[in-house]
Amino acid sequence: MQLKSNMTEFILLGLTQDPVRKKIVFVIFLIFYLGTLLDNLLIIVTVKTSWALGKAPRMIADTLLKKTTISFSECMIQVFAFHFLFCLEIFILILMTVDHYVAICKLLHYTTIMSHRVCGVLMFLAWLGSCVHSSAQIFLVLGLPFCGPSGIDHYFCDLQPLLQLACTDTYVTSLHLVLNSGAICTVSFIMLIAEGSKKALSTCISHIMVTIFFFGPCIFIYTRPATTFCTDKMIAVLYTIGTPLFNPLIYTLRNAEVKKAMRTLWSKKLISDDRR
């Protein structure tokens, strides 16, 4: 018989409960978040002005509060959004690897193989797959009864810490979690590394860096039973805070055309300032 959950909100325990350390975390998160906004804004401005190219505010605010709560519905929305974007990034990495492989190994047929129609279909499938994955995660959680305690030992809502609060046996749910998120992480990582033997990754150092930096922590978190380690929260910081900051730097700012466009944009700005 399925018990009905009477939990209306959860308490996010965060990375630390020490007031001084919470202020330090606030400063670190704020710097990372501003850096993420800055490098993405820089890329947008560069692309828009160049003819040649044609989970965070909430986490920052919580570090300053003594007691942080999140409603059950908001927690579910956060789980859905996180896993949707997480899965979408995995699929995009795979599609980028395929694109690299075709560009390197089948250059003469690249425009035919990777046509706009094919790219559109692949992106649609990536969005659809991400939606299916995140919906499955939500259904796993919604089927669980939560009747206390309500303290989530994490700084955002995720499945592993939520399973610790369920007042029922979560072995089967944990197994589904590993088969879902864990399988996506592991299989995708193997596929990306396997492409290295076909010259896709071997010629793209940036792709190797992102693959290891992103998949390493994810595989550690989602390919084991629902047990919480003291290092889980710090590892989660790598792919929730670090990845959004470094991805634009690793990919876009290493691109020769982008760097050239930025130099042109900067030169125009200096000339404009001198004329004033």
Q: Say if strands 151-152 and 9-12 run parallel, antiparallel, or are unpaired.
A: parallel
Claim: this prediction has a pTM higher than 0.85: no
Which candidate, 112, 105, 92, 95, places its Cα nearest to that of 198?
Answer: 105
Domain ranges for the chain? 19-51
- pLDDT at residue 272 tops 70: no
Residues 6 or more apart in contact with residue 16 via CB below 8 angstroms? 22, 25
Cα 165 from chain centroid?
24
DSSP run (H or E) holding 270: helix 256-275
pLDDT tens-place string over residues 53-99: 445 556 666 666 666 788 888 888 888 888 888 888 888 888 887 88
Tell me the per-residue pLDDT of 32-45, one tens digit each, with 9 for 90 and over.
888 777 767 766 66
99-132 burial, b if ≥16 CB within 10 A, otherwise e?
Answer: bbbbeeeeeeeeeeebeeeeeeebeeebeeebee
More confident residue, 46 or 179: 179
Q: How many angstroms separate the CA atoms of 246 and 126, rounded? A: 22
Question: Helix (H, G, I), strand (E, B), or coil: what is residue 139?
Answer: helix
Per-residue pLDDT band at 194 (split at 50, 70, 90): low
The number of CA neighbours under 13 Å toward the Cβ of 164 is 16
